[in-house]
Structure 1
Amino acid sequence: MSNELVIDVQPNEIVIALLDNKQLVEVSKEKSNIQFAVGDIYLGKVKKIMPGLNAAFVDVGYEKDAFLHYLDLGHQFLTLNKFLQQAIARKGRGISISKMKLEEDIDKNGKITDVLKSGQYILVQVAKEPISTKGPRLCSEISLAGRNIVLMPFANKVSISQKLKSTEEKSRLKQLLQSIKPKNYGVIVRTVAEGKRVAELDKELRGLIERWENSFLNIRDINPPSLVLGEMNRTTAILRDILNSSFENIYVNDAAAAADIKQYISSIAPEKEKIVKHVKGELPIFDQLGIDKQIKSSFGKTVSFKSGAYLIIEHTEAFHVIDVNSGNRSKAGNDQETNALEVNLAAAEEVARQLRLRDMGGIIVVDFIDMHSAENRHKLFEKMKEMMSKDRTKHNILPLSKFGLMQITRQRVRPEMNVAVLEKCPTCQGTGEISPAVLLTDQIEDQLASLVETSQEKQLILKVHPFVASYINQGFFKTLRRQWQSTYKVKLKVKAIPSYDLMMYRFSDKDNRRIK
């Protein structure tokens, strides 16, 4: 198995694509001004107590108040609250958690009114990003994720990842972390820590503790609601969580971003530093590496996956529905049951990929092709569990029901990834009629003249179909491009985009931002 990461850095967002054996399995977008990402820690203000829900609404600066349930406060909420009050009182002086006396755990069956009141300042962490009409979902059981360990202030215990199979390794790591962690700090040891030496784990532990304590030095000067400690950006978080020996390449189209990623990798896995590659070229990086084509074919209502078989994916308010169809697929010599099993096993692979790719959360119901054999149904269930084992998001899978339905729950922490693959025709604008092709260059020139006059831009990029680009650049001295540059006193660069329609064109500024 080989993994590759392709990172497309744009002025307003970063798009990240994860490839598994050259096949697209994850896509995520991060806006340059993104707020309220999972893991961000905020100093908020309690706006309203809801005894009926046993919850509170907290102002963290989002347009809608965030939701905090009593069960998400964490056992050591009273100690966290005490620490916050002391940090606010001690301007510029750090507080050592190790020297604090922990308060009693809150009652797990208690009421929100016992511990919170309106107007109170509270330290919270984003557990779910804003989705649809809902604000962020919060918790007060704070954790700071590193590559090998997760630091949990006030927890005072060591937990080991259940994915670690070796009992001896679990025991070694537990004893090791118990010997080096300070008092009143808890640690969760991640799977990737297997085989790591004490020096490496101790260095990461000290770094996380320093990051936590330094964020509270000037908390007195913060005016709530405000961000106290931000999670690292999505690109770095993905590298932290999934970078391993199977990664062969990380492609980036921005020199500064490539340098930052290389520096980060050198700190967590120096031997992998050389896999970071800065990709240059006229074409967008996703076009160069074939990512755009995979995205267009993988999103949408209907997804083909093998020998004519396809999935139909529907979204409702309550859950997602996936229907498996064999299409025109048939194999001579195979009976219906064998064909159904083959299609269903292939569908299980594609369903698991689609859940990761679209980041679908909540309840997913998959309608597989009916199979009469109990053994075959069990094979399908095991296959689905095997394919979903690669998914880092928490999930649960139920065996097939007697109606051939499989129910899957998958944790939802951010909005579902959605890519529109059906587009309004940019040439005819949906009318079904276009202007004469012979007038295309006249239209482009008119648009250029208008832009030069209204935008005052001195450098422009014209994006067109490769055929049109060749026509505009035809010749040596007397090309259309040179004529336009001379007439309108502007530096014009013509870029060929294979995905554009023949009559489609766009103008961008020198920073590649589209000019409408």
Structure 2
Amino acid sequence: MRTIAVHTQTSEQIGIVLENNDVIEYVTIRPEVQMLSGSIYLGKVSHINKAIQAAFIDIGEERTGFLKKESIPWAQKSIESTLKEGQSLTVQVTKEPEGTKGAQLTADITVPGLFVIYQPYGKRTAVSKRIDAKQAEVLRTWTSRQLDADEGVIVRTAASNVSTQTILNEIDQLRDLWARQIKTSTTDRSRKLVDDPILPDQLIRKHPLSLITEIVVNNSQLSQSIKQRYPMLAEKVKWVKNISSYTGITINELQSKLIQPVVVTEQGMELVIEQTEAMTVIDINSHKFKQKTLSSYQKLEMNKTAAVEVARQIQLRNISGIILVDYISMQEKKQEKELLKYMSELVRRDPVSTTILGITRLGLMEITRQRRFSNVSDQLTAIQKPAFSKDTLIYRLERYLTENIQSEAVLVAMSPDLYYHKKQLLSQSISSKIPQELFVRQDSSITDWQIELEGSLDMIQSVISRRVYHVDNLF
């Protein structure tokens, strides 16, 4: 059973999902980052590109959105015969802007609810594959009767636990929302028509209603808003003044864990998570067991144990794209198939579409996960520039000094840490090899070393005296 906790009292708003007291999902909204996905806009066609059969749509944001012909339900011929420049058009954001690219758009609008997703131009009824086939057919029949020829719905997994009438009532509510707030817009000015906030709406809808035990918020107005918007959840919504005390974990503590590359399971196995721009690699480190001879059965069971944490970390850190997992090597193909099946069952619980592709010839499990919103690590951490080791910094300074024969004297400022490391690294002085008179001082404001001054010996000594520097002249 799951608890959704929404922290809204600070500038950074955060939602977490807990299952059996373990955090399985982390979502954040920051004031400087505008999230567009799911929002519906009244846009205007600003340019049509015949070559790629796509249109650029002005939606009133900083950059124009991108609309492919395939994303227009009524497009039967070319895009230029479907749309005209200057034409107003209702569109929905399916992918956030990235770099210089604008948001990706669709004209196949979806209006989501708890049990169904209403599609004004859908023309068909689709039912979640997780619903039993017999029940799915009943739901398909009843919902189809409720729709006009152009309309469509997607029946969500949560619909399997409520009455047919509840589902039909939600279809009417969503259709009414479309008719009142979106379709009947009275102006052709490009603007947002309906916002679909990540917190709390998208986070709540991601999880099956039957699994949600409670929704905890620290804002009384938000509490009332959720109850009004989702009457079926009203009894599960709680207002709590201090959510961290209620859930037993602070946001700062959670963030500190989320940026750590090493995760240790209760059984003592380690997951080493390395994320690059192209892919994410997860290495299952079994060094604790390397001195032991493991049977085939033990290796499989250890891999299954690790798989549970792999699936949890992928969802928690919102890792997407290409994922490679290096499990403990197993010799038998039968065991690999069993692990693949087990991992497939685990990722089915993830609301974001995740596919287990197989195991490569090198023994790596290939996984792909749909890209939705930012990777948690990208949100929380700064990009680290490559940095030289202390040893390398000392050797670079040594090389600079021995190669620089232009000046009579040199004043070097060095961090205290590097200053003492220099003494440990070099067993004997190399001062005789340095052509200049060398003066070294410690400076805690820098992280490596800097050539502070070069010139004549008299000038350097004068500066040292005037600034009252404490220096030595031994490298």
Normalising by the residue count of structure 2, what TM-score does the alignment of the two structures yield?
A: 0.73
Runs of at least 5 residues in structure 2 that lack an aligned partner in the other structure: 385-414, 418-475
Give the match for residue 173 of structure 1.
139
From the superposition, tell whether residues 144 and 193 of structure 1 become closer, same or farther in structure 2 (CA, over 3 Å).
same
CA deviations 1:45-102 (Å, max 9, x no partner) are 233333443323322233332222222223x24xxxxxxxxxxxxxxxxxxxxxxxxx
Map 1:43-192 → 2, pairs under 5 A:
43-74=42-73, 76-77=74-75, 106-107=76-77, 111-167=78-134, 169-192=135-158
d(CA) in 2 for partners of 1:423, 1:170 = 48
d(CA) in 2 for partners of 1:290, 1:55 = 46
Identity across matched positions, percent:
29
- For residue 407 of structure 1, give the secondary structure of its aligned residue in structure 2: strand
Give the match for residue 280 of structure 2.
320
Read off the aligned partner of 1:136 and give its amino acid letter.
Answer: A
From the superposition, tell whether residues 16 and 172 of structure 1 become closer, same or farther in structure 2 (CA, over 3 Å).
same
Query: Is contact 2:37-2:93 (8 Å) kept?
Result: yes
Map 1:325-474 → 2, pairs under 5 A:
325-329=285-289, 334-335=293-294, 337-418=296-377, 420=380
Deviation at 1:24, TM superposition (A): 0.8
d(CA) in 2 for partners of 1:423, 1:30 = 20
Deviation at 1:355, TM superposition (A): 1.6
Deviation at 1:242, TM superposition (A): 1.8
From the superposition, tell whether residues 260 and 21 of structure 1 become closer, same or farther in structure 2 (CA, over 3 Å).
same
Deviation at 1:203, TM superposition (A): 1.7
From the superposition, tell whether residues 63 and 40 of structure 1 become closer, same or farther in structure 2 (CA, over 3 Å).
same
Moved more, 119-128 or 412-421: 412-421
d(CA) in 2 for partners of 1:134, 1:32 = 21
- For residue 25 of structure 1, give the secondary structure of its aligned residue in structure 2: strand
Give the match for residue 447 of structure 1.
none
Structure 1 segments of 4+ aligned residues over 6 angstroms from their partners: 421-424
CA deviations 1:8-39 (Å, max 9, x no partner) are 11342320000111111100012458645322
d(CA) in 1 for partners of 2:182, 2:15 = 32
Deviation at 1:318, TM superposition (A): 2.3
Query: Is contact 1:47-1:59 (8 Å) kept?
Result: yes
Moved more, 3-12 or 144-153: 3-12
From the superposition, tell whether residues 139 and 217 of structure 1 become closer, same or farther in structure 2 (CA, over 3 Å).
closer
Deviation at 1:231, TM superposition (A): 2.1
**1:212 and 2:178 matched:** yes
Aligned pair partner of 1:256 in 214, 218, 221: 221
Aligned pair partner of 1:268 in 227, 232, 236: 232
From the superposition, tell whether residues 364 and 194 of structure 1 become closer, same or farther in structure 2 (CA, over 3 Å).
same
By relative contact order (CA 8 Å, sep 6+), the higher-ranking structure is 1
Moved more, 169-178 or 372-381: 169-178
Moved more, 285-294 or 376-385: 285-294
Runs of at least 5 residues in structure 1 that lack an aligned partner in the other structure: 78-105, 425-430, 434-516
Aligned pair partner of 2:239 in 278, 300, 320: 278
d(CA) in 2 for partners of 1:288, 1:336 = 39
Map 1:472-483 → 2, pairs under 5 A:
none
d(CA) in 1 for partners of 2:248, 2:49 = 53
Query: Is contact 1:340-1:369 (8 Å) kept?
Result: yes
Read off the aligned partner of 2:58 and give its amino acid letter.
Answer: D
Aligned pair partner of 1:223 in 179, 189, 207: 189
Structure showing greater Rg: 2
From the superposition, tell whether residues 174 and 423 of structure 1 become closer, same or farther in structure 2 (CA, over 3 Å).
closer
Deviation at 1:131, TM superposition (A): 3.8
CA deviations 1:431-470 (Å, max 9, x no partner) are 899xxxxxxxxxxxxxxxxxxxxxxxxxxxxxxxxxxxxx
Moved more, 226-235 or 414-423: 414-423
Deviation at 1:260, TM superposition (A): 2.4
Query: Is contact 2:227-2:233 (8 Å) kept?
Result: no
CA deviations 1:157-190 (Å, max 9, x no partner) are 22222211232x1222122112223443212221
Query: Is contact 1:287-1:293 (8 Å) kept?
Result: no
Query: Is contact 1:36-1:126 (8 Å) kept?
Result: no
Read off the aligned partner of 1:14 and give its amino acid letter.
Answer: Q
Deviation at 1:123, TM superposition (A): 1.9
- For residue 399 of structure 1, give the secondary structure of its aligned residue in structure 2: strand
Normalising by the residue count of structure 1, what TM-score does the alignment of the two structures yield?
A: 0.68
Read off the aligned partner of 2:239 and give its amino acid letter.
Answer: H
CA deviations 1:212-242 (Å, max 9, x no partner) are 0112466232511x11222255312322342
Map 1:25-36 → 2, pairs under 5 A:
25-31=24-30, 35-36=34-35
- For residue 342 of structure 2, give the secondary structure of its aligned residue in structure 1: helix
d(CA) in 2 for partners of 1:391, 1:250 = 19
d(CA) in 2 for partners of 1:56, 1:217 = 21
Give the match for residue 465 of structure 2.
none
Give the match for residue 36 of structure 2.
37
d(CA) in 1 for partners of 2:53, 2:281 = 32
